[in-house]
Structure 1
Amino acid sequence: MSSPSVPPPPLTVVQPGTGDEGFLGSIGVAFKLWGSDTGGAVSVVEHPFPVGALVPPHLHTREDEYSIVTEGEIGFRSGDREVVLGSGGYITKPRGELHTMWNAGSTPARMIEIISPAGFEHCFREIAEMTAAGQPDPAAVAELAHRYGLEFGQPDWLPGVIERYGLTPPPGPE
């Protein structure tokens, strides 16, 4: 028996150093693979972390994230677990769990973020557009977060992380 012919997914090629880039308030974003490139399975972005950068604690209600550190040292806190990873380190950040990331070293850092399922890369694009236009309106950020199932938190452990690593508190909801 032969099965109906299903066309292969499109071939997507992203050369090193290419892809749209933006700034998310405390870290950068470089778009590599969109959901439209993967049939919605995953999206891939890279995040450069300046020294002192801290991502606001947040959780995703719709997707899981998988991070790979490619340069420097990046600290991660997810739930009650905390770790600092150097180049080549991997971590999973499951949906529904409050997490944050920061540059844990004295040099710029970078990581690859794989998001499953795809879709949240569009939130990054919208935040980058807001940031490029100036300081985003908190009400607009709250509406955007709601649309993408993103929730922010202010955990009691955050001041200790900021102090231990000499971080710049992130912009955003207090």
Structure 2
Amino acid sequence: MVFKLFGEQTNGMVAIVEHPFAVGAFVDPHVHTREDEYSIVTEGEIGFRSGDREVVLGPGGYITKPRGEAHMMWNAGQTPARMIEVISPAGLEHFFWAFRELLAGGPPDPAALGALAAEYGLEFTTPPWFSGVVARYHLSSELPE
């Protein structure tokens, strides 16, 4: 992750984080309770499911992910991908910072991840559409080698 802009630089209004997506990578479905997100693909192809909307976007494509709406993202192509995440209001960038620290020691302890998520109002969920997305895009929880 590349931290482009922290909330401390914008009076808490917005934060910007760049996320890389390795081939085969995905983010589990989750809900933000405090902020809205705006994702802009800058490289590769990234799939998004947010509420009832499902789309694969290339460079320049964007999607809104409003607070309270379950969403997930995945690398939908055969090459590495990147996206810019605009977070409003700011604050969630600190979750990403702490999550990066958790990952430094290998796969994070589920209890530690759950506690960190709760601290930032982030809820992991399994919406009814999750298994369909996994099947359509051949996603796996196993990390690619």
| TM tier relative to shorter chain | over 0.9
Runs of at least 5 residues in structure 2 that lack an aligned partner in the other structure: none
Structure with greater strand share of residues: 2
Which position in structure 2 is the counterpart of 1:41? 13
Matched, 1:67 2:39: yes
Provide the residue aligned with 1:81 in structure 2.
53
Query: What is the aligned partner in structure 2 of residue 145 from structure 1?
Result: 117
Residue 170 (structure 1) shift: 6.9
Question: SS in structure 1 opposite 2:63?
Answer: strand
Quick one: percent identity of the two aligned structures? 69
**Aligned counterparts, 1:85-164, within 5 A:** 85-164=57-136
Spell out structure 1 runs of 4+ moving beyond 4 A: none
1:34/1:121 contact within 8 Å kept: yes
Cα-Cα RMSD: 1.3
How much has 1:169 moved relative to structure 2? 2.0
Q: TM-score, normalised by structure 1?
A: 0.78
Between 1 and 2, higher relative CO (CA 8 Å, sep ≥ 6) is seen in: 2
Deviation at residue 158 of structure 1 after TM alignment: 1.6
TM-score when normalising by structure 2: 0.94
Stretches of structure 1 that go unaligned for 5 or more consecutive residues are 1-28
Query: Does the Cα contact within 8 Å between 1:162 and 1:169 map onto a contact in 2?
Result: no
**Cα distance in structure 1, aligned partners of 2:95 and 2:111:** 15
Please say which structure displays the higher CA radius of gyration.
1
Q: Does 1:31 align with 2:22?
A: no
Count of aligned pairs: 143
Question: Which digits, 9 at most, give the CA deviation of each residue in 1:90-134, with x for residues without a partner?
Answer: 110000000000111111111000000001000001110011022
Match of 1:54 in 2: 26
Q: Distance in 1 between matches of 2:15 and 2:59?
A: 21
